[in-house]
Structure 1
Amino acid sequence: MTRATTAVRQGGAAPAPLVGVALMAVAIPGAYGGRGLALASRYVGLQLVRGVTLIIALRPRRAHAREERFLFWFVVSGVLWIIGGFAAPAWRTGLWLAALVINYLAAALRYPTPVRGRIPLEQYSQLSVHFGERYQQIAILALGELTLTFGGLPYTPARAVGFAAALLTALLFWQIYVLQSNKLVDRSVHRRPRQSVYLAPYIYAVVVTGVIATSAGVDLVLHEPLGVTTPASWVVLIVGGPVLFVVGRMNSEYVLLG
C-alpha cells in the first residue's frame, strides 16, 4: 500500500466502508433466502464506492493507477455477484464462488488490466503501518460471529453449555491469532515485504474460513445441543472448523516468517 493510500485512509474515509459492512452483516443471515440480492448489491456497491473514492483522491498524486486495476476487476466479478443475487439458491453458490475465484485469480496475476497492464512488482514492497492492523481487524470481526446465535434461541441448560464452549473457543482463537497477529505481520513486512503483500490475502482466507466453519458448527450445536443422530457432516464441520483455523494460523507464520 502506498503512502498516498495511507493518507487517504487516515483522512476519514473509514465511515463509509464501516456503514457498508454493517449493512452487509444485516443481509448475511438471509443470503440464501430473500436477501441474496441485498447482500450482493451492498458488497458490490461498497467496492465501487471505495474504488471511485480512492481513484479521485489519489489522482492529484498520480497514485491512482493501482486502484483503477482493482476497480476494473471488482466490476468484472461484481457482475456475477449481482446475477447471483437474482438467481435461485441452487445457482447462487456457483456464481458467487466464480466471482471469488475471479478476484483471487486476478490478485495472483497482479491485476492485469487493459491499458494499465499489471501492478509492477516493486509496488508490492510499499507498505503502510496499517498493514497488520487490517488483518487483525478482519479476524476480530470474524470471531464475533461465534457468539451471535445464542441470543435468538430459547434458553436451556444445554444451550448455555454450548454457548460457553463457543465463547471459550472464540477466546482461544483470539489468543492463538489476534493477540500476536500485529507482531507477526509487522515482522514479516520488514523481512519479506513483497511476499507479505502478495500472499497475505490467501493465507488469511484460510484462517477466516476456519472461523466461519466453526461458527456454522456452533450454530448447529446451539440449535440441536442434545442431538443423538448427528450426521457425519456435522462432526466434520464442528471439528474441522477449529482444525482449519489452526492450520491457517500455522501456515501464516511459516509463509510470512519462514
Structure 2
Amino acid sequence: MTTARWPELLRGREGELLLDLVYVFALTRLSQRLIEDFTTDRRIVLPEAGQTALLLLALWLVWIHAAWVTSCFDPRQPAIQLMVVWVMFGSMIMAVALPHAFGPRGLVFAVTYVAIQCGKPLFLLLASPHERHNPARTLSWAAVSAVPWLAGAALFPQSPARGVLWTLAIALDYTGLALGWPIPGLGRTRMKEWMIAGEHLAERYQQFIIITLGETILLTGLTFATEFTPDRVLPTVVSFASTVLLWRIYFHRAGIVLPAVLEAAPRPARLGQSGTYTHLVMVTGILTTGVGHALVIDQPLERDPTWLAVIFGGPALFLAGRSRLEYDVFARVSASRVVGLLALAALTPAMLRLPPTIPASTAAIVLAGVAVRDAIREWKHPREEPSPPP
C-alpha cells in the first residue's frame, strides 16, 4: 500500500476505521470472557466456550454485513455514513454487555443486536429507494430471528433455554445469509451475485485480521503488565513471536494479493462470500491463540489439559482457514499448511501433562516452520501468480 493510495483509501472510509477501533474493544471483551471460561472453577468449559463462540458469531455477522454494504454502496452517502455510525454505536453497546450476555445483561445485548440488524435495511432504503427488494428480504429475516433473540433474553434470564433460543436465532441469521434471504413472492438475492467493489471488501478483510492480531498483542501486554516477573518473560516472548508468525503466514502471497484478485474477478462477490467464512475461521483461530498465550503468561506452571484446546486449537483453526484462502486465490494448498495441521494433531497427546509453556512454544515452532517454508518457496518462485478468477 503506497503513500499515494492513502487518500483514495480513506476518502469516505473514516467511519469504517472507527468501527474497527470499536471492534478492538469488542474482541478484547470477548477474549476476556473466553479466559474466564477456562479459569473459573464453577463453570463447565465446553458450554461456556460454546456461549462465547455464539457471541463471536453475532459480532462477526454485524461487522461483515457492514463491510458488504460499504462495498456495494458509496460510503460518502449520508445514509451509509449514518448506518456505519449506527453499527458502531450498537457494536460498542454489545461489547459492553458481552461478558454478561448470558446473565443480567442479556436483554441489552439482544435488543441492541436486533436493533442493528433491523436498522441496517432501513438505512439502505434511504440510500437506494428504488432497490426495495433486497432490504425487504433482509429486514424480514431479521424480524423473524428477532423473536428467539428477544424471547431468550426476556423470558429466560438464568436458564439453558436462552442458549437454545439464541442458537436457533444465530442459525436463522446465518441461514438467511447463505441462502440469500428468500421471501415468497420476492425470491432471493445471493451475495455471490452482488456487484461489489472487490478491492475494498478484500481490504476490509485484511483490516479485520490486523485488528485481531492487534488485540492479541494488547491482551499479551495487559496480561504481562499485571505481574512483571521472570517466569512470565518466556511465555510473553512466545506470544509476541506467534502473533508475528500469524501475520506473516496470512499476508504471504494469498493474503497480500487478495485485493487484486477480487478486483480482477468478473464476479468478485463469489470469492468475497467464501472470504466471509474463511476469515471467520482465521479470526477465531487468532483470538483463541491469543487467549491460550494469555493463560500461559498468567499461570506459566499450571497444568490444565483443557488449555490445549486454545493453545493448539487456535493455530490449527488459523491454518485451516488460511489453507482455504490459499485455495481460493491459487487453486492449491501448500503442503506446509497440511503438515502444520498434522503436526499439531500428532503432538497433542504428548503435551497433555506438560507445563503450558512447552505446548505454547511447540505451537510457535510449528508456525515458524510454516513461515520458513513460505520464505523458501518465495525465494524459489518469486513471481507466482494467482489462479484466474472464476
TM-score range, shorter chain: 0.7 to 0.9
Change (3 A) 1:64 1:200: farther
Q: Shift of the alpha carbon at 1:125?
A: 4.8
8 Å contact from structure 1 (residues 189, 196) kept in 2 = no
SS of the residue corresponding to residue 126 of structure 1 reads: coil
Paired residue for 1:57? 127
For 1:69, which of 127, 130, 137 is the aligned residue?
A: 137
Cα distance in 2 between the residues matched to 1:216 and 1:130 = 30
8 Å contact from structure 2 (residues 71, 200) kept in 1 = no
Q: Shift of the alpha carbon at 1:53?
A: 1.1
SS of the residue corresponding to residue 73 of structure 2 reads: helix
Paired residue for 1:181? 255
Q: How does 1:159-178 map to 2 (within 5 A)?
A: 159-177=232-250
For 1:209, which of 265, 272, 284 is the aligned residue?
A: 284
Q: How does 1:54-203 map to 2 (within 5 A)?
A: 54-59=124-129, 62-86=130-154, 87=156, 88=158, 90-119=160-189, 124-128=193-197, 129-149=199-219, 151=222, 154-157=226-229, 158-177=231-250, 181=255, 183-191=257-265, 192-203=267-278
8 Å contact from structure 1 (residues 20, 43) kept in 2 = yes
Change (3 A) 1:52 1:204: same
8 Å contact from structure 1 (residues 217, 238) kept in 2 = yes
Cα distance in 1 between the residues matched to 2:285 and 2:273 = 21
SS of the residue corresponding to residue 32 of structure 1 reads: coil
Partner amino acid, structure 2, of 1:155: E
Report the aligned-residue RMSD.
3.0
Paired residue for 2:73? 6
Cα distance in 1 between the residues matched to 2:113 and 2:208 = 16
Cα distance in 2 between the residues matched to 1:144 and 1:38 = 27
SS of the residue corresponding to residue 128 of structure 2 reads: helix
Q: Which runs of 5+ in 1 are unaligned?
A: none
**Could you give the per-residue CA deviations for residues 140-195 of structure 1, whole angstroms, max 9, x where no partner exists?**
33334324445377314234543443333333323332576363144045235242
**Structure 1 length-normalised TM:** 0.81
Q: How does 1:217-232 map to 2 (within 5 A)?
A: 217-227=292-302, 229-231=303-305
Change (3 A) 1:71 1:189: farther
Cα distance in 1 between the residues matched to 2:190 and 2:226 = 55
Partner amino acid, structure 2, of 1:47: Q
Paired residue for 2:340? none
Q: Shift of the alpha carbon at 1:252?
A: 1.6
Change (3 A) 1:215 1:257: same
Change (3 A) 1:247 1:72: same
8 Å contact from structure 1 (residues 47, 71) kept in 2 = yes
Partner amino acid, structure 2, of 1:6: F
8 Å contact from structure 2 (residues 202, 259) kept in 1 = yes
Cα distance in 1 between the residues matched to 2:234 and 2:151 = 41
Cα distance in 2 between the residues matched to 1:206 and 1:53 = 29
Cα distance in 2 between the residues matched to 1:89 and 1:222 = 34
Cα distance in 2 between the residues matched to 1:89 and 1:167 = 39
Instruction: Determine whether 1:17 maps to 2:84.
Output: no
Paired residue for 2:26? none
- Equivalenced residue count is 252
Change (3 A) 1:120 1:44: closer
8 Å contact from structure 1 (residues 214, 242) kept in 2 = yes
Range with bigger deviation, 85-94 or 132-141: 85-94
Change (3 A) 1:70 1:215: farther
Partner amino acid, structure 2, of 1:214: T
Q: Shift of the alpha carbon at 1:4?
A: 9.3
Q: Shift of the alpha carbon at 1:57?
A: 1.9
Cα distance in 2 between the residues matched to 1:20 and 1:160 = 38
Change (3 A) 1:75 1:166: farther
8 Å contact from structure 1 (residues 184, 253) kept in 2 = no
8 Å contact from structure 1 (residues 127, 193) kept in 2 = yes
**Structure 2 length-normalised TM:** 0.56
Paired residue for 1:37? 107
8 Å contact from structure 2 (residues 209, 283) kept in 1 = yes
